[in-house]
């Protein structure tokens, strides 16, 4: 049987669709989910499970972009600019206010980009380790903070061996799921309440199908995620708080 082959663009569009699925569940289904009918809870959990695909894929391709981009300066500036642009719709859609210390995923990607630069450029091993650790910990107030940059660091360290990348990634997934179970159990919630975190494992077969090719180099494919991310959050804010 022929192995499924996916280029970067196809996987990125899959990640965008998964993100939309996740956010529909998070913004439209989550209020009162603990008291909701079983069917609604099941749909919510399924959509959040699918949504776990997005961040690992974006972090994987951040590393790919970091390694292969023709201009790291332009890449870094693009992440910073769209991270700043996205913060307003991110904060409004999540909290209805800008006065909340919770930064969006593109800011996480930008700090992760700086972490990869430090990993590559700093010669002194002690200074490099301190800097990398500090940058990872600085994402504590960001979406997918700490675990996301650490995941990207593993993708970078094992970038020459896809299977080693994904074995290391599997360990991170297991830790994330176990941490969610323990946290919920210790705080009096149903321990299985966030088992949808296991959806992170779905990224493994997807990335195993990655053929290393970029796909079409149309500008649309280059910019679609940067535009879609703040735009769809803005729409969710309007639906959630303005309608």
Give me the percent of the chain exceeding a pLDDT of 90.
81
Report whether pLDDT(242) > 90. no
Report whether pLDDT(1) > 60. no
100-155: pLDDT as tens digits: 899 999 999 999 999 999 999 999 999 999 999 999 999 999 999 999 999 999 99
27-60: pLDDT as tens digits: 988 766 566 677 888 999 999 999 999 999 999 9
1 domain residue, yes or no: no
Per-position b or e across 210-241, b if 16+ CB within 10 A of its CB: beeeeeeeeeebeeebbeebbebbbebbeeee
226 domain residue, yes or no: yes
126 domain residue, yes or no: yes
Give the three-class secondary structure for 11: helix
Tokens for 175, please give them. Answer: 């830790």
What is the overall mean pLDDT for the chain? Answer: 93
2 domain residue, yes or no: no
3 domain residue, yes or no: no
Of the CA atoms within 13 Å of residue 144, those in its CB half-sphere come to 27
Specify the pTM.
0.94
230 domain residue, yes or no: yes
Enumerate residues 6+ apart whose C-beta is below 8 A from 43: 25, 29
Contact (CB, 8 A) for 116 and 63: yes
141 domain residue, yes or no: yes
Rounded distance between C-alpha atoms, residue 46 and residue 4, angstroms = 24
71-86: pLDDT as tens digits: 999 999 999 999 999 9
Query: What is the tally of structural domains in the chain?
Result: 1
122 domain residue, yes or no: yes
Q: Provide the residue range defining the domain that includes 35.
A: 8-242
Alpha-helical runs (H) found in the chain: 8-24, 38-51, 54-68, 72-95, 105-121, 125-138, 147-157, 162-186, 203-208, 219-237
């Amino acid at each position: 049987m022929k192995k499924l082959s996916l280029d970067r663009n196809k996987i990125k569009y899959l990640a965008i669709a998964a993100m939309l699925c996740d956010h529909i569940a998070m913004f439209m289904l989550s209020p009162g989910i603990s008291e909701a009918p079983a069917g609604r809870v099941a749909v919510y959990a399924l959509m959040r499970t699918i949504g776990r695909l997005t961040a690992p894929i974006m972090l994987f391709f951040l590393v790919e972009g970091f390694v292969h981009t023709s201009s790291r300066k332009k890449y870094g500036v693009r992440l910073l600019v769209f991270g700043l642009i996205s913060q307003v719709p991110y904060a409004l859609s999540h909290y209805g206010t800008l006065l909340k210390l919770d930064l969006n995923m593109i800011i996480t990607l930008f700090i992760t980009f700086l972490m990869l630069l430090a990993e590559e450029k700093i010669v002194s091993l002690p200074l490099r380790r301190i800097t990398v650790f500090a940058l990872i910990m600085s994402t504590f107030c960001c979406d997918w903070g700490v675990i996301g940059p650490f995941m990207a660091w593993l993708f970078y360290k094992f970038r020459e061996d896809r299977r080693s990348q994904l074995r290391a990634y599997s360990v991170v997934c297991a830790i994330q799921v176990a941490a969610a179970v323990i946290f919920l159990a210790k705080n009096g919630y149903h321990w299985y309440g966030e088992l949808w975190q296991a959806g992170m494992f779905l990224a493994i077969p997807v990335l195993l199908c990655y053929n290393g090719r970029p796909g079409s180099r149309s500008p649309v494919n280059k910019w679609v995620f940067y535009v879609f991310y703040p735009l769809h959050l803005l729409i969710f804010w309007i639906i959630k708080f303005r309608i």
